[in-house]
Amino acid sequence: MLSKTLIPLALVLGLAALLPTSFAQNSDQSEQEAMYDRYMEFASYVKGGSVDPHWMADGSSFWYAEEAPANTVIYKVDPKANTKTPLFDGARLRDALMPLLGHEPPYHGLPFDKFTFVGEGEKAVKFAVEDKEFILQLHNFKITAVPPLSEEEKSRLVPQVTPNFPWGYFVEVLSPDGRWFVGVKEHNLYLRSTYDGRRLPLTTDGNEDYWWDNAPATWSPDSLKLAVHKYDYRGSPRVPIVHYLKPREEVEWVLADHFKAGDRRPRKENFILDLFSKQQIHIEACAEPGYHCRIADWQPDGFELLLFRQTTDDKRLELIAADTKTGATRIVLTETQKTFVIGGERPPLLVLGRIFTWLPDGKRFLWLSERDGWRHLYLYDLEGNLIRRLTEGAWPVVRVVAVDEKSGWVYFAAHGDPQRRYDTHLYRVSLDGRGLARLTEATGQHEIQFAPSKQFFIDTHSTVARPLTVELRRADGTLLQVLSKANIDPLIRELKWRPPEEFVVKAADGKTDLYGVLFKPYDFDPRRKYPVIEVIYAGAHVSVVPKSFTDYHHYFGLTPALPQLGFITFIVDARGTPERSKAFRDEVYGSWARHEIPDHVATLRQLAEKRPYMDLTRVGIVGHSMGGYFTTRALLLAPDVYHVGVASAGPAEARDLPTFIGPPETIKEGYEHASNLRLAANLRGRLLLIHGTSDDTAPLSETMKMVDALIRANKRFDLLLLPGAGHYSAAMPRYWWDTIRRYFQEHLKP
């Protein structure tokens, strides 16, 4: 089950969440079908190109494991000496371990890929083999067995997965001092001691309509207080889930995951709980009508709790500070927009990173704002006074990566290359606003992991066509060494892999650049004509075009797999999506579903102009969730362009989507325009609607409304219902995937 905090991201990755765990080949498959299955297991054909650093006591050195489990080697990297050496003598360790195990250790390298240092000075380690724990003295390789913990002792140290209604299951949250877990049971909060396992109730007044939530629980730095939410769902809508597979049908009314425009949304109350007095300090400012709040962070000294307070129309965002003794608040700063402010609780926070970052001194903070049309960094003091602006230009900051207050540098990721709008590079700027510099060179996406010392960082970079490389660099960007490179020989040898093609086209306005990626079959022949399939999402809260080598087998697994059956596939981010300018994003405000399909049609036609192998008489489109909505809309708005569509779990109307269209009472015409129901008579192609019967995110009623509209319009269509399937998983994932590809095979005839 997914926690509530992950739901927006899961909505973004709807198709990825449905990826099957295995696509085993069978002897009756054609070569194309076998290749399709192999592409669904893309990641298993790529070895290396990944480093998971475990930082050591000096704050710069780290260790990591490679080639696990068969030939595990654990390396220690010392950036100051620029060395990389095996941390363990594998043969010596195996010899020392054999008498304790009573047999040869498993595998050929180290029989473990993780460990912990014990004692002082990092001179001994604890590791586990075959569920038995051992301690190794590094200076003489003496190994001793650790007496096993009882099940009760183990349970004290491990966070428990606890049910929390209605969002699923959450893990207990550990306090900074390591003494307590906070969890939820029967709608109330409890503490569980890591010392003796005893449980202490924190609250007793929760129930199924008015319940405490530990998902965003935030401990104070001294572990004496908790900032938590309490949800009031009284009067909020519920969704009927019919359990058809029971001996007799059963109806369960569950709290809605997403809400329709105009719904009475749940009221979220914010509290500070004192662990010992059990006092509940209510933050009244977050309960005022027309606002909602989200916890930002504690002040380092713990005297105040910072929260984001945002108006329900998203046009005003405040950073407020609450007194931890009284709950009284003060406004630190305010952001306003004519359309919407990116912040508060909107999913872009998950995509673009936190808008608020403390400086280590606890007296200043960094703030990300789009106030001038681009997302940039500003430095403030605790009273909300702007100290200075740190970055500017026609490019957006993505996230703050690290702050080195001692040396005076802020390190951040940004899309700063005007030739490659979505490339993510590491930059730094001084706290006095000078010395802006890009620290990474290679094109593509750069994922950065800074050492605690802030003197070094690990850079993992790639493009959709270039495999992963992991480099060790100094904080100023100086390359020290290459730690790892992905080996894609099996990919080329067994999948006959050809790099996908990045492209740039113009939007329907004829002037705005749009970026996307196109995929071809493993046996591509430019003299042939191939049917075309677009994979679409088009949500305003996420950019879905793959950007790195690891992206395109996670984002919408159909995109690289379907071509192997004889199709050309592509995916594009049209106007209205994030990670560009505010104006690019604002295209959807008040005009949802007006520009998306025209932009996608313009993309398709421009691609085909230069690629005669794309057959525009055979065009398909597929999408899940919001992509399902736009799939149906594409067939209805552009029936001369799109001939076959598969719409999975797609809402039928804009009021059922988490859009930025604006309030329904002021933009009635906009909501009517965005409804697919009024367009049902336009259907000319083949449309397959798929929906899970237990979907509480996009309820089955959405597809049923579309079914009704198509029947009233006397239109033929196809329908697949998945009994018991929710929004983020299918009851029969292989059947789901096979249905989609067979539908395109049957009607597009590759």
- CA dist 180 and 175 (Å) reads 5
- Closest-CA residue to 689 (of 748, 631, 634, 746): 631
- CA dist 468 and 463 (Å) reads 8
Size of the chain in residues: 750
Contact 670, 591 (CB under 8 A): yes
- Closest-CA residue to 217 (of 320, 295, 319): 295
pLDDT at 6: 31
Contact 451, 57 (CB under 8 A): no
Q: Where in the chain is the domain with CATH 3.40.50.1820?
A: 15-46+492-748
DSSP state letters, 48-61: ------EE-TTSS-
Per CATH, is 15-46+492-748 categorized as 3.40.50.9100? no
HEC string of 411-464 equals EEEECCCCCCCCCEEEEEEECCCCCCEECCCCCCEEEEEECCCCCEEEEEEECC
* H-run or E-run covering 349: helix 348-352
- CA dist 529 and 611 (Å) reads 10
Query: Which structure tokens are listed for 506?
Result: 């113009």
Contact 415, 394 (CB under 8 A): no
pLDDT tens-digit profile of 523-547? 999 999 999 999 999 988 889 999 9
Contact 646, 744 (CB under 8 A): yes
- How crowded is residue 76: how many other Cβ atoms within 10 Å of its Cβ? 17
What is the pLDDT confidence band of residue 127, given thresholds at 50, 70 and 90? very high
Q: What predicted TM-score, i.e. pTM, was given to this entire model?
A: 0.93
DSSP β-bridge partners for residue 572: 516
Q: Is the pLDDT of residue 402 over 90?
A: yes
**Alpha-carbon distance values, 446 to 81, 370, 412, 449 (Å):** 24, 23, 11, 10
pLDDT at 658: 56
Q: Where are the beta strands (DSSP E) in 172-244?
A: 173-174, 180-185, 188-193, 199-201, 210-219, 225-232, 238-243
- CA dist 737 and 741 (Å) reads 6
CA 523 to chain centre: 33
DSSP β-bridge partners for residue 622: 535, 646
What is the pLDDT confidence band of residue 442, given thresholds at 50, 70 and 90? very high
What is the pLDDT confidence band of residue 399, given thresholds at 50, 70 and 90? very high
Query: Which structure tokens are listed for 511?
Result: 């002037």
- Closest-CA residue to 260 (of 687, 674, 726, 723): 674
- CA dist 740 and 719 (Å) reads 12
Lowest average pLDDT, out of 131-145, 161-175, 182-196, 275-289, goes to 161-175
- CA dist 53 and 62 (Å) reads 6
Query: Which structure tokens are listed for 609?
Result: 């102009």
pLDDT at 353: 66
pLDDT tens-digit profile of 613-667? 999 999 999 999 999 999 999 999 999 999 999 999 999 987 776 556 666 767 7
Residues 6 or more apart whose Cβ sits within 8 Å of residue 58: 453
- Closest-CA residue to 429 (of 463, 462, 457, 400): 400
- How crowded is residue 248: how many other Cβ atoms within 10 Å of its Cβ? 5
Lowest average pLDDT, out of 158-172, 367-381, 554-568, 609-623, goes to 158-172
Contact 639, 683 (CB under 8 A): yes
Query: Which structure tokens are listed for 585?
Result: 């994003």
Mean pLDDT: which of 32-46, 247-261, 506-520, 715-729 is highest?
Answer: 506-520
pLDDT tens-digit profile of 688-711? 999 999 998 889 999 999 999 999
pLDDT at 292: 87
pLDDT at 59: 98
pLDDT at 71: 93
- How crowded is residue 160: how many other Cβ atoms within 10 Å of its Cβ? 13
- How crowded is residue 277: how many other Cβ atoms within 10 Å of its Cβ? 10
**Alpha-carbon distance values, 358 to 410, 634, 666 (Å):** 11, 45, 38
Query: Which structure tokens are listed for 237?
Result: 């809508």
Torsion of CA 174, 176, 177, 180, to 10 degrees: -20
Mean pLDDT to the nearest integer, 216-225: 91
Query: Which structure tokens are listed for 427?
Result: 């930059």
What is the pLDDT confidence band of residue 34, given thresholds at 50, 70 and 90? very high
What is the pLDDT confidence band of residue 4, given thresholds at 50, 70 and 90? very low
Q: Where are the beta strands (DSSP E) in 225-277?
A: 225-232, 238-243, 250-255, 267-274
- CA dist 358 and 338 (Å) reads 28
pLDDT at 659: 57
Query: Which structure tokens are listed for 542?
Result: 């996420």
Mean pLDDT to the nearest integer, 346-359: 66
To the nearest 10 degrees (0 to 180), the angle between helices 596-609 and 626-637 is: 70
Mean pLDDT to the nearest integer, 219-230: 95
Give the domain 152-393 fold: Methanol Dehydrogenase; Chain A (2.140.10)
Contact 377, 391 (CB under 8 A): yes
pLDDT tens-digit profile of 471-521? 999 999 999 999 999 999 999 999 999 999 999 999 999 999 999 999 999
Residues 6 or more apart whose Cβ sits within 8 Å of residue 669: none
- CA dist 547 and 559 (Å) reads 13
- What's the burial of 352, exposed, middle or buried (CB within 10 Å: 0-12/13-18/19+)? buried
Question: Phi first, then psi: what are they for 259, rounded to 5°?
Answer: -120, 150
pLDDT at 267: 83
Task: Please report the sign of the dihedral spanned by the C-alpha atoms of residue 631, residue 636, residue 642, residue 643.
Answer: positive
What is the pLDDT confidence band of residue 24, given thresholds at 50, 70 and 90? low
Contact 209, 216 (CB under 8 A): no
Mean pLDDT to the nearest integer, 341-348: 56
- What's the burial of 663, exposed, middle or buried (CB within 10 Å: 0-12/13-18/19+)? middle
pLDDT at 551: 80
Mean pLDDT to the nearest integer, 119-134: 94
* H-run or E-run covering 600: helix 596-609
**Alpha-carbon distance values, 560 to 269, 498, 546 (Å):** 45, 10, 11
Contact 152, 197 (CB under 8 A): yes
- In eight-state DSSP terms, residue 607 is H
Is the backbone of residue 223 left (phi > 0), alpha (psi -120 to 50) or beta?
left
Q: Is the pLDDT of residue 134 over 90?
A: yes
- CA dist 497 and 581 (Å) reads 35
- How crowded is residue 685: how many other Cβ atoms within 10 Å of its Cβ? 21
Q: Where in the chain is the domain with CATH 2.140.10.30?
A: 152-393
**Alpha-carbon distance values, 523 to 529, 563, 670, 750 (Å):** 13, 10, 45, 13
DSSP β-bridge partners for residue 96: none
Q: Is the pLDDT of residue 234 over 80?
A: yes
pLDDT at 679: 98
Mean model confidence pLDDT for the chain: 90
